[in-house]
A and B are shown apart, each in its own frame.
Chain A
């Protein structure tokens, strides 16, 4: 069965510092991987997606993620954190088109001034 593990339920960084949010997946078939962001009291917004094209995926707001099959990872990074990046981030996988999204537990990102 497919699953997603996000290491670290809370991550705190200083403004301007590197953001690294970790995601590992288990999948018996080539996965389709996503990062979603949820700002307080809002819905889920897609940050970026991997659908078997380039392994380094660029998303909105300066975020990017690299698909590493050998490590079964899809970590999210941003070179320089901004206060507005404070939110909950969810990694998710879909096994097939039209199938359900399977979410990780989420990582809450705090950005200190």
Chain B
């Protein structure tokens, strides 16, 4: 069964460093998303991406964040200068153009900022 994959599973970085989190959505999906979950809190929406552009973003998704679909399979989230409060689990999700509205989630990348 097709699934969303994410790499790495765990990323440790120093405050101020840039990180890139990678995702491979399900191949025939066209909507892509990033969410994050700070430890012990609920899952929060960051950004959605469709037709090679951002379709919606939250107030969390400030100028330090960017997303890109560099090729036909990858979807990346970049944090330019990480802060301690960026430590969280980051989930990528994708959904098909039609049918079900269901979003399929990857296993997540745990980002730890020291």
Residues of A within 8 A of B (CB): 32, 34, 36, 42-46, 49, 51, 90, 92, 94, 97-106
- Given A46-B102, A92-B43, A98-B48, 17 additional A-B pairs, CB 8 A: A42-B107, A42-B108, A43-B106, A44-B91, A45-B105, A49-B101, A51-B100, A90-B42, A97-B98, A98-B31, A98-B50, A100-B56, A101-B33, A101-B45, A101-B103, A102-B45, A105-B42
Instruction: Classify chain B: how many residues form its interface, as a range.
Output: 20 to 34
| A43 contact from B100, B101, B105, Cβ within 8 A | B105
Residues of chain A within 8 A of B45, CB atoms compared: 100-102
Q: What residue in chain A is nearest B41 (Cβ atoms)? A: A105
Task: State the CA gap A3–B44 with chains docked (Å).
Answer: 12
Q: Provide the bound-state CA to CA distance between A45 and B48, in Å.
A: 19
Q: Which residues of A contact B93 (CB under 8 A)?
A: 101
Closest residue of chain B to A100, judged by CB? B45
> Once the chains bind, are A100 and B100 in contact (CB under 8 Å)?
no
A32 touches B42 (CB 8 A): no
Return chain B residues, CB-CB under 8 Å to A32. Answer: 101
Residues of A within 8 A of B55 (CB): 98
Residue of A nearest to B45 (CB): A100
Q: Tell me, rounded to whole Å, the shortest Cβ–Cβ distance linking B96 to chain A.
A: 9
CB-based contact B42/A43 at 8 Å? no
A102–B107 CA distance with the chains assembled, in angstroms: 19
**Is B65 on the interface with A (CB-CB < 8 A)?**
no
